[in-house]
A and B are shown apart, each in its own frame.
Chain A
Amino acid sequence: MDRLRKSFIASGTALALTLSLGAQAAPLEVAVDSSPSGLDPHIVTAFSSFQIIDGTIYEGLTALDADLAIVPGLASAWEISEDKTTYTFTLREGVAFHGGGTMTSADVAASLNRVLDEDTGSPLASRLAAVEAIETPDDSTVVIRLKAPSAPLLSSLTTIAIVPAKYAEDTETLQRAPDGTGAFRFVEWQPNVAIRLEANDSYWQDGLPKLEGVNFNIVPEAATRQVGLTSGQYHMLPNTDAVTALQLQSQPNVKLQDTLELAYSLTGLNVTRPPLDNPKVREALNYAINRDDLVQAALFGAGVPGGPLSPALTGFALPTEELACFSSDPEKAKALLAEAGVETPIELELLVLPRDDTKAMAQVIQQQLAAIGVNLTLDIPEIGQFVQDWRNSEFDMFVSLNSGTIEPDDYFYRTFRTGGSTNVFKYSNPALDALLDAGREETDVDGRREIYAQVQSALACDGPALFLAYGQLYTAMRTSVEGYEIYPNRSLGSLKSVTLDN
């Protein structure tokens, strides 16, 4: 027994001896929950990839600030023709790629064409659908000619990274070794361990970045991430959920920043599978859900019940009070099912995105729908399986999270237009399609507002998705981290202004 005690004392001493209170110089140690699925800015879709590369390694012609306003990026200025179909961009001087070489209009044209090229298979291609021609009159000028006016263009360009022209045909190298113009240069990727970036000494913005580098540590275990932050081993847990944030709130040396998400949680319905093909049934499901309870139970109150657009898009989003079916009414739901001639109980399967918040939502929805005689079996696969089933529309219903941007077109066109690239619901509504096409070409602000109000009303009650909620997004960091700004779209672009005060 004595020996036991001694060895414990010995190990305790060893621990105490190595008690280091984070007295090393930068880099900033960031802990993220999952490995990115590649780093090619024109190919990846997952948040896990986006947060590592957007605004840190890569930049677009235009950029967003933390208030989601469009500001100059790699283009220092632009002019728009009278008829709104010609955009002339003046490029910044002296912008270098990490891998060497100065950025010219040829690289910009090659990047845009790479996104448009079918062989790239870029999910961003639809954002450039209006482009007719890309011209490069000289090294520092790019002219984009459109088939028709395209209101979302400047917003879309914030998401399209400029890469060296030599990668035009190469869809593999950048997935593993990114090469951009941003404040941080890629150093190495140790799969499932860490991705290391170092400061780009020749960054075009004077005095930036202020950090020596950024290490993204891949730490799948939530408790481990939290302990790592409280012990000072990690400096930041970006884009985390309310549960984690609330647990860290009381810790000394930890501070939080939060904002309302652009991404929304939804329950998607496969409209090719009865009885979900019946609009009345879809409306009934909307009435059966109590979104306030859902936000309380699954998001710990850190979020708002939401319609088709994030309330953060103040210019466009309709208040949910204006959407009739957003008030919970189980009796009306049952009446609608009866009206539709559907026999209850209905047995359906619910495919669940394997995240803590979506799992919690799935359970709440299961309970709420059981009250009107819709019995759900939950299927919670691992992520690879989820992606495959989702992509192939192998589901009755699913619960997931869809990303958003500052542009309503990005919320709707890909996802709800007939044949849209992420229209996994197999939904087709010609009236909605016409509205979505008109929304792209309308450049007058009031006109667009009117069109997207109609779109939201069309989707809200008998569309293929039950819009659930917009969560509060948090970043937890050590008090020694200064200058960080949380972005509603989960970009970590503000890392270039961050300092670490040791």
Chain B
Amino acid sequence: MMFLKRLRGRLIDLAFVIVGVSVLVFAFIRMIPGDAVAIMLGANAEVTPERIAAVRTRLGLDLPIHEQYVVWVSDVLRGDFGVSIWTGKPVIDEIAAHVWPTLQLTLLALATAVILAIPLGILMARLRGRRGEAFVQAGSVVGLTIPPFWLGIIMILTLSAIAPGVQMLGYVPFSQDPLGNIARLILPAFALSLPIMANLARLLRSTLLEAMQQDYIRTARAKGVPARRVLYRHALRNALIPFVTSVGIMAGYLLGGAIVIEQVFAIPGLGRLILGAIAERNYPLIQATILLVTCSFVFVNFAVDVVYAIIDPRISE
């Protein structure tokens, strides 16, 4: 009962967040100086003011901003996200064309981070107080602080020096060339996963060490359970609860990193779409893309809450 009540409360929060974001996005992108029309018509002083006015009217930019917002929201609620100012294609189609590379990249980065963070976290916990601890700790701080885009640039420069023939830029659909697809995504996914991997490994280390101090562990040890088994069966299980929560939160941040990584590796994903749309003040496209990204972020967090409630018996009582 308690659980359902909480769920309802979270859903209401969710709705507020999404509405708030839609207002903010709408207002912010119109605060960027230089409007779509000026950029569309280029650095060209021979354009008559009448023509600029006509284009503004056609794009609906002549209405007061709150009216523009109302028009947009009522269209969105009917499932109409508008058309791209530049290509005249529906915004939904543009997003659909760009969503796969980003989805693949972020999922691959997340998987890489999780798969490598667990053994690293355990290793760091086991090294506690031994030689080598400082080394591993330092490594994790480096991983945490290296900007993924810088790492990406270093990676492609290094690889091109070592193996000049390897083609590692861009994107090939998996269905077309599975190997080429994976090969092109490995480097950017790794660069993207590094800070998250370090973050998760450090978290796992501290929760593991904390778990090892608990009474039930002492009990298990006293009963003569082998040390390894104590670690993996008892301590790790409990330590994974906060770990899972963090994975969910990190998944949202991956999208932000992906925007920059896509520039470096020339991947035609949502990041390129958003940056390009901002550069050309393509309002309908920016609004729809950012709304989509926000909704996925919020939704992932919501899902984490639910999962957390399910796996932690203290919450789902």
Contact A391/B169 with A193-B272, A221-B266 known, Cβ cut-off 8 Å: no
Contact A387/B168 with A14-B182, A189-B87, A223-B157 known, Cβ cut-off 8 Å: no
Per-residue contact bits, chain A 1-43, to B (CB 8 Å; 1 contact, 0 not): 1011001000100110111111000000000000101100001
Q: Which of B140-148, B203-211, B274-282, B298-306 makes up part of the contact surface?
A: B274-282
B169 and A18 form a contact (CB under 8 A): no
Residues in A whose Cβ lies below 8 Å from that of B86? 38, 175-176, 191
A195 to B86, CA, bound (A): 14
Q: Tell whether B186 is near chain A: CB-to-CB under 8 Å.
A: yes
Contact A224/B43 with A11-B186, A14-B179, A119-B51 known, Cβ cut-off 8 Å: no
CB distance from B267 to the nearest CB of A (A): 9
Q: Tell whether B68 is near chain A: CB-to-CB under 8 Å.
A: no
Contact A422/B186 with A189-B87, A191-B276, A221-B266 known, Cβ cut-off 8 Å: no
Name the contact of A45 in the complex, choosing from B44, B153, B167 (C-beta under 8 A): B44
Q: Tell whether B116 is near chain A: CB-to-CB under 8 Å.
A: yes
CB distance from A155 to the nearest CB of B (A): 19
Q: Tell whether B40 is near chain A: CB-to-CB under 8 Å.
A: yes
Per-residue contact bits, chain A 367-395, to B (CB 8 Å; 1 contact, 0 not): 00000000000000111110110110000
Name the contact of A44 in the complex, choosing from B42, B167, B280, B281 (C-beta under 8 A): B42
A251 to B159, CA, bound (A): 14
Name the contact of B160 in the complex, choosing from A19, A22, A190, A227 (C-beta under 8 A): A227
Residues in A whose Cβ lies below 8 Å from that of B88? 176
Task: Tally the A-B contacts, defined by beta carbons under 8 Å.
Answer: 177
Residues in B whose Cβ lies below 8 Å from that of A136? none
A20 to B183, CA, bound (A): 11
Name the contact of B268 in the complex, choosing from A17, A126, A193, A253 (C-beta under 8 A): A193
Q: Tell whether B156 is near chain A: CB-to-CB under 8 Å.
A: yes
In this complex, how many residues of chain B approach chain A with their Cβ under 8 Å: the count is 58
Per-residue contact bits, chain A 251-284, to B (CB 8 Å; 1 contact, 0 not): 1110000000000000000000000000000000
A14 to B180, CA, bound (A): 9
Q: Tell whether B33 is near chain A: CB-to-CB under 8 Å.
A: yes
B40 and A37 form a contact (CB under 8 A): yes
Residues in A whose Cβ lies below 8 Å from that of B250? none
Name the contact of A231 in the complex, choosing from B40, B169, B281 (C-beta under 8 A): B169
A window 178-228: CB within 8 A of B: 189-194, 217, 219-221, 223-224, 227-228
Residues in B whose Cβ lies below 8 Å from that of A3? 119
A223 and B153 form a contact (CB under 8 A): yes
Residues in B whose Cβ lies below 8 Å from that of A221? 153, 263-264, 266
A335 to B48, CA, bound (A): 44
B183 and A15 form a contact (CB under 8 A): yes
Q: Tell whether B224 is near chain A: CB-to-CB under 8 Å.
A: no
Residues in B whose Cβ lies below 8 Å from that of A363? none
Q: Tell whether A85 is near chain B: CB-to-CB under 8 Å.
A: no
Contact A228/B272 with A122-B46, A176-B87, A421-B45 known, Cβ cut-off 8 Å: no
Per-residue contact bits, chain B 165-181, to A (CB 8 Å; 1 contact, 0 not): 11111100000000110
In this complex, how many residues of chain A approach chain B with their Cβ under 8 Å: the count is 64
Name the contact of A17 in the complex, choosing from B51, B153, B183, B265 (C-beta under 8 A): B183
Q: Tell whether B164 is near chain A: CB-to-CB under 8 Å.
A: yes
Residues in B whose Cβ lies below 8 Å from that of A113? none
B179 and A19 form a contact (CB under 8 A): no
Residues in B whose Cβ lies below 8 Å from that of A422? 43, 45
A217 to B190, CA, bound (A): 24
A193 to B94, CA, bound (A): 12
CB distance from A308 to the nearest CB of B (A): 20
B46 and A123 form a contact (CB under 8 A): yes
Contact A223/B264 with A123-B44, A232-B165 known, Cβ cut-off 8 Å: yes
Q: Tell whether A230 is near chain B: CB-to-CB under 8 Å.
A: yes
A43 to B44, CA, bound (A): 8
Residues in A whose Cβ lies below 8 Å from that of B123? 1
Residues in B whose Cβ lies below 8 Å from that of A390? 43
A11 to B186, CA, bound (A): 7
CB distance from A159 to the nearest CB of B (A): 14
B window 85-132: CB within 8 A of A: 86-88, 94, 97, 115-116, 119-120, 123
Residues in B whose Cβ lies below 8 Å from that of A486? none
Residues in B whose Cβ lies below 8 Å from that of A230? 160, 164
Per-residue contact bits, chain B 259-296, to A (CB 8 Å; 1 contact, 0 not): 00001111010001101110111000000000000000
Q: Tell whether A424 is near chain B: CB-to-CB under 8 Å.
A: yes
Chain A minimum-CB-distance residue to B190? A11
A15 to B48, CA, bound (A): 55
A19 and B43 form a contact (CB under 8 A): no
Top-6 shortest CB links A-B = A192-B276, A384-B34, A121-B47, A18-B183, A193-B268, A388-B34
14 A-B pairs whose Cβ atoms sit less than 8 Å apart in the complex: A45-B44, A119-B51, A121-B44, A123-B46, A175-B40, A192-B273, A221-B263, A227-B159, A231-B168, A252-B164, A387-B39, A387-B42, A388-B33, A422-B45
Given A171-B51, A191-B94, A233-B167, 5 further pairs, Cβ under 8 A: A4-B119, A18-B166, A43-B41, A46-B43, A224-B266
By a beta-carbon cutoff of 8 Å, the part of chain A in contact with chain B is 1, 3-4, 7, 11, 14-15, 17-22, 35, 37-38, 43-46, 49, 118-119, 121-123, 125-126, 171, 175-176, 189-194, 217, 219-221, 223-224, 227-228, 230-233, 251-253, 381-385, 387-388, 390-391, 421-422, 424
